[in-house]
């Protein structure tokens, strides 16, 4: 075997020689730039999160009253009675009494030669608390929905516990001939004790 020539020796030295180490001054700016970019990214991300949190807080503050109005209509109407019109406009019926009128039965009778209507029904506490029963208001309406007669009834029943029911009965002698429909609801304070025509 021939000894390697000087040229071959030089090539072998170049292939096995370690690469020259760059000066530290050239790497330092790259490291600093990378650190600066990371810091700027973190700051932008934090600012974005703060901005999103601020918008979310504003949305909650803006929507909370509307959600409260929709979620608690009975409490809103109890606090602001005029708001019942708003719920009516939205097509929502608000039961501020926590009571329902159920199983209404209307009978036409003849007693001693006179027409009499007898109305029976049931009142049920559908709330989660004990409820007093307000006076009931009965209205007779004509075929064109005009009220032709009304009266009120004090059921004189103790307050009902949640889920409890009680019955009521009322009679009216000689109802107006024009009466075609019956409306039953809870009486307003200014209607209590009234028994007369429209």
Q: Residue 73, class by beta-carbon neighbours within 10 Å (0-12 exposed, 13-18 middle, 19+ buried)?
A: buried
Quick check: 86 pLDDT over 60?
A: yes
- What's the pLDDT band for 23 if we cut at 50, 70, 90? low
Q: Are 186 and 134 in contact (CB under 8 A)?
A: yes
Q: How many CA atoms, within 13 angstroms, populate the side-chain half-sphere of residue 158? A: 3
Q: What is the pLDDT of residue 19?
A: 57
- Within 8 A by CB and 6+ apart from 14, the residues are none
Least confident of 9-13, 42-46, 92-96: 9-13
Copy the structure tokens of residue 95. 């039961």
The pair of three-digit structure tokens given for residue 192, joined into one six-digit string = 């209590």
* 20 pLDDT higher than 60: no
Identify the weakest region by mean pLDDT among 35-39, 41-45, 88-92, 112-116.
88-92
pLDDT digits (tens, 9 = 90+) for 116-140: 888 899 989 888 888 888 888 888 8
Name the band, by pLDDT with cuts 50, 70 and 90, for residue 146: confident
Express each pLDDT in 46-74 by its tens digit: 999 999 999 998 888 888 887 777 777 77
Spatial contact of 74 and 95, defined as CB atoms under 8 Å apart: yes
Is residue 22 predicted with pLDDT exceeding 60?
A: no
Q: What is the pLDDT of residues 175-184, one digit of tens each?
A: 888 888 888 8
Query: Could you count the other beta carbons within 10 Å of the beta carbon of residue 196?
Result: 7
Predicted pLDDT of residue 17? 52
């Amino acid at each position: 075997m021939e000894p390697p020539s000087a040229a071959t020796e030089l090539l072998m030295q170049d292939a096995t020689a370690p690469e020259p180490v760059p000066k530290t001054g050239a790497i330092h700016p790259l490291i600093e730039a990378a650190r600066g970019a990371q810091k700027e990214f973190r700051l932008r991300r934090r600012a974005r999160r703060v901005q999103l949190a601020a918008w979310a807080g504003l949305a909650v503050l803006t929507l909370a009253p509307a959600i409260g109005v929709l979620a608690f209509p009975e409490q809103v109407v109890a606090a602001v009675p005029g708001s019942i019109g708003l719920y009516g406009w939205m097509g929502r019926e608000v039961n501020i009494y926590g009571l329902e009128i159920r199983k209404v039965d209307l009978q036409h009778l003849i007693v001693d030669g006179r027409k009499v209507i007898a109305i029976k029904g049931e009142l049920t506490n559908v709330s989660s608390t004990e409820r007093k029963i307000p006076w009931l208001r009965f209205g007779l309406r004509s075929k064109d929905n005009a009220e032709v007669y009304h009266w009120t009834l004090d059921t004189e029943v103790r307050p009902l516990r949640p889920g409890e029911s009680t019955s009521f009965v009322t009679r009216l002698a000689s109802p107006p001939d024009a009466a075609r429909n019956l409306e039953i609801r809870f009486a307003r304070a200014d209607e209590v004790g009234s028994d007369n025509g429209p």
